[in-house]
A and B are shown apart, each in its own frame.
Chain A
């Protein structure tokens, strides 16, 4: 075998603390190494060309590159050696940046460690075998989880791109948080006027199948071939017949339950269509409050319904779909501000959340767009906004910035003045973070044109006095305490991961970060990909995002899906497990241990049980290989003899064993 070794400087990243030339000189003496050199940037065009040339001129049949992490450039170099004419699995990478130069300062020791890592790579490469990927068909359909603005955008873009879309939303209507907003920053255009037509498009698009009041039950399969089971919750109304006339809602006698769409500011009947623009515009019964479901009496809606579509015995329904790609767009939830005892923990009715205020501002909200305080319905003249409630506050485990609260608070201050011209707004803030296009101008307008008083400092307590609320805080710019007598206090609550996100992530094999937001594949270069092939992220499920960013990401995820589904076939990764039937005793231990269900027991022609790996399902994790008591399963490209060769390169055995045999 003739191996070429290339030691990358990575500018000063590696060469700064590793003597790369010395590493190359040492590598030249390793067995089977025919050529060793150092190179400025191995991944650059001249760097890759150098590799191709060396392979061709020196007839190399294996290449080792010592540079950065394989997560970054292993695919790059595999393509390079393939271009040079050798199988891409005759390539090995030694990570001398993350594992050496970035973590140590001592050049001598770094160089020694780099040499050892290269020696391991060479020893492994000497035992590599050519692997050829298999090809399989792609299901041309995409599942989108979450019908907020990001999911809607992704669904429409995918459908317009010609793919079939299945959109699953757990609420009764799509629209998400945006549907609850009155106006949007920084243009003050009406939220539902922008979103409404898009929702209608989703409802009418021939390529989109919409399941609302539905959740993901289970997911199996792999990129290009996922099988997803969806639980469609019982809604006790036959939606194929319901016309959305709303007669039932008027007659329903049970209307004590807080209306979730209006953030609990008013109540909703037990049979309900959440809001006028709902898509689909169908009624559903809330079994927890429905008198018929609870006590077995009533049934008024069934009597009144002109098309007789009420079905109190309806059951949950499971639907299974095959999809080639999945977009997660599950959005966010609001921080539960009741964790702040100093803001009353819900004791004062006139302390409300920003989203509740949004419903008060909205013409379709419970007050018809008139700002009225919840306690007595009076119009507030002094409104205090408190920012960073559940953002940037370590004491409640929310150290991150929610990103959009500064902007929506400015918007709400502006709208307050519009609604009540003789009102005065105060905004307690920490910093103003408004980096988007037109954003800074917008917050300035709130201060300068609309006269909102911005006070920098946290609020220490809110307490009632008479029919007002005294808001006491610090003005850290003036260095004094301030007290404002407010008629209404609006808490700019921060964003947190949607409830159930972690459980969903488990089903999709997408990792959540410590706060429950899904982790993208690479924060800069792969912002909508996940580490599970074929699963993409859009919107605030990945971290707090405003509408423009969510829409942008929805489109980005759609572009990725379209690129994926434009292929008729995909290549499967050949780095999978393989069973040596002669050694396999059919104990089935591997079947139990494989986390992906990729191994099944079959019978050979003598009727003996033998394990068999389903290549397309196997993720190459290698758990089975260490489980098998017979050593009958080997993971291609990481066989026992390859790994032992690496270990021996590091700590040579006293007695030389020839593992190459």
Chain B
């Protein structure tokens, strides 16, 4: 069984509780052991690095060090934003001078190296799509989805070093493994408006609206995401978008772990489907309830 350090990130404690829980459940179901980073702290998310690179790196460096103390060489996080911060810090700390300024801020200098990866990457690279497919017992046959990766999951490519930065396929392949029909979603790496939600709702409405429009054009039953912020913009704000654009979108927006969980026959209580704002029942009804594979 593979084993990686796990950094849940703050959103997993609040806005995307269901992402964290379903991630844990899915990893357990495919035989991936997640070891929580002890005493982890916030990575600073989007504000910190816009203010001070050293401080931002220090926040991540502390977590990297704690992950390293577990004796594991990969730390996985479900959230692309946390991933960006951890990866940036890990890469920039390779520069000795920078590492020294960062370490000066820490109680304990950050020792050793751990490789931050998204849970998605770990699932695809360490567990493997075939292995996931093998464990699927309730395939999502009949469900047509569009996978939406968001703009930072794979970019910048020289930093993230996973999948294709213009046409990533990791989630598509996992969803196919889960038995869903995956529509080729041309806007899969477009920005949803990200953290503009509070200051400029109009921008989010325009950008996220475009994504929902493209998804509707593909005739999908649901959008699948891997990012708490993307999910929030598309799901929680869907009614705001409808109001702003005079639209009538009703597209449920799942975390890919929620749908994987269904396919792997994880108890529904672990998946938090009731926390979605757009009612997913219509979409889930599309799944041709098959006899369990085994």
A-to-B contact residues, CB < 8 Å: 341-342, 345, 347, 461, 463-466
B167:A463 contact, CB within 8 angstroms: no
Distance of A497 Cα from B166 Cα, bound (Å): 27
Residues of A within 8 A of B285 (CB): none
**When the two chains form their complex, are residues A466 and B217 in contact, meaning their CB atoms are under 8 A apart?**
yes
User: Which residues of B137-172 have CB atoms within 8 Å of chain A's CB atoms?
Assistant: 164-167
Whole-angstrom distance from the CB of A343 to the nearest CB of chain B? 9
15 additional contacts, CB 8 Å, given A341-B164, A463-B214? Answer: A341-B165, A341-B166, A341-B167, A342-B166, A345-B166, A345-B167, A347-B167, A347-B184, A461-B166, A463-B186, A463-B187, A465-B186, A465-B214, A465-B217, A466-B217
Contacts of B184 in A (CB 8 A): 347
Q: How far is the CA of A345 from the CA of B186 in the complex (A)?
A: 12
**Whose C-beta in chain B lies nearest to the C-beta of A464?**
B186
Q: Which residues of B contact A347 (CB under 8 A)?
A: 167, 184
Residues of the A chain whose Cβ atoms lie less than 8 Å from the Cβ of B164: 341
Q: Contacts of A463 on B, CB cut-off 8 Å?
A: 186-187, 214
18 A-B pairs with CB atoms under 8 Å apart are A341-B164, A341-B165, A341-B166, A341-B167, A342-B166, A345-B166, A345-B167, A347-B167, A347-B184, A461-B166, A463-B186, A463-B187, A463-B214, A464-B186, A465-B186, A465-B214, A465-B217, A466-B217
> How far apart are B195's CB and chain A's nearest CB, in angstroms?
20
Interface size range of chain B in the complex: under 10
Contacts of A461 in B (CB 8 A): 166
Chain A residues whose CB sits within 8 angstroms of the CB of B214 once the complex forms: 463, 465
Which residues of A are found within 8 Å of B186, using beta-carbon distances? 463-465
Q: Mark B178-201, 1 if CB is under 8 A from A, else 0.
A: 000000101100000000000000
Interface residues, chain B, with chain A CB atoms under 8 Å away? 164-167, 184, 186-187, 214, 217
CA distance A465 to B166 in the complex (A): 17
Minimal beta-carbon separation of A346 from chain B (angstroms):
11
Top 8 nearest A-B pairs by Cβ distance? A463-B186, A341-B166, A342-B166, A464-B186, A341-B167, A465-B217, A463-B187, A466-B217
CA gap between A461 and B184 in the complex, in Å: 15
Min distance, Cβ B201 to any Cβ of chain A, angstroms: 20
Smallest CB separation, B157 vs chain A (Å): 10
Question: A446 CB to closest chain B CB, in angstroms?
Answer: 30
Please measure, in the bound complex, the distance between the C-alpha atom of A658 and the C-alpha atom of B184, giving whole angstroms. 83
Q: Name the residue on B nearest A483 (C-beta).
A: B210
Q: How far is the CA of A341 from the CA of B169 in the complex (A)?
A: 13
Q: Tell me, rounded to whole Å, the shortest Cβ–Cβ distance linking B169 to chain A.
A: 12
Q: How distant is the Cα of A648 from the Cα of B284 in the complex, in angstroms?
A: 91
CB distance from A489 to the nearest CB of B (A): 13
Bound Cα distance A465, B218 (Å): 9
Bound-complex Cα distance A404 to B214 (A): 37
Shortest C-beta distance, B36 to chain A (Å), equals 36
CB neighbours of B166 from chain A (8 A) = 341-342, 345, 461
> How many angstroms from the CA of A618 to the CA of B69 in the assembled complex?
69
Residue of B nearest to A348 (CB): B186
Measured between C-beta atoms, what is the minimum distance from A394 to chain B in Å? 15
A633 to B217, CA, bound (A): 80
A463 to B187, CA, bound (A): 7
Q: Min CB distance, B216 to chain A, in Å?
A: 11
A-side contacts of B187, CB under 8 Å: 463
Q: Which of B167, B184, B186 has the most CB of A within 10 A?
A: B186
CA distance A463 to B189 in the complex (A): 11
C-alpha spacing A461/B167, complex, angstroms: 11
Provide the residues of chain B in CB contact with A342, threshold 8 Å.
Answer: 166
CA distance A342 to B157 in the complex (A): 13
B135, chain A: closest CB distance, angstroms: 30
- Which residue of chain A has its CB nearest to the CB of B164? A341
Task: Report the bound CA distance from A272 to B10 in whole Å.
Answer: 66
User: Please, which residue of chain B has its CB at the minimum distance from the CB of A472?
Assistant: B190
Q: In the assembly, what is the distance between CA of A461 and CA of B191, in Å?
A: 13
User: Nearest chain-B residue to A466 (Cβ)?
Assistant: B217
Q: How far is the CA of A341 from the CA of B154 in the complex (A)?
A: 13
CB distance from B255 to the nearest CB of A (A): 24
Chain B nearest CB from A483 CB (Å) reads 10
CA distance A342 to B164 in the complex (A): 11
Give the nearest-CB partner of B185 in chain A: A463
Min C-beta distance of A342 to chain B, whole Å: 5
Report the bound CA distance from A345 to B184 in whole Å.
Answer: 13
- Report how far A286 CA is from B62 CA in the complex, Å: 64
A447 to chain B, nearest CB (A): 30
Q: Which residues does chain A contribute within 8 Å of B167, judged by CB atoms?
A: 341, 345, 347
| Nearest-CB residue, chain B, relative to A462 | B186
Measured CB to CB, the nearest residue on chain B to A461 is B166
Task: Report the Cα distance A465→B183, complex, angstroms.
Answer: 13
Task: Give the complex CA separation of A464 and B214 in angstroms.
Answer: 9
**B184's closest neighbor in chain A, by CB?**
A347
Output the nearest chain B residue to A470 by Cβ-Cβ distance.
B186
Residue among B164, B166, B217 having the largest count of chain A Cβ atoms under 10 Å: B166
Collect the chain B residues with CB atoms within 8 Å of residue A464's CB: 186
Query: A342 CA to B165 CA in the complex, in Å?
Result: 9
B3 to chain A, nearest CB (A): 34
The CA-CA distance from A586 to B217 in the complex, in Å, is 82
Q: Which residue of A lies closest to B186 (CB)?
A: A463
In the bound complex, CA of A461 to CA of B166 (Å): 9
Residues of B within 8 A of A341 (CB): 164-167
Of all chain B residues, which has the CB nearest A343?
A: B166
A341 to B189, CA, bound (A): 12
CA distance A463 to B184 in the complex (A): 10
Q: How far is the CB of B247 from chain A (nearest CB, A)?
A: 16
A112 to chain B, nearest CB (A): 43
- A283 to B166, alpha carbons, bound, how many Å? 43
Give chain A nearest CB distance to B233 CB in angstroms.
19
Shortest distance between the CB of B150 and any CB in chain A (Å): 15
CA distance A465 to B167 in the complex (A): 16
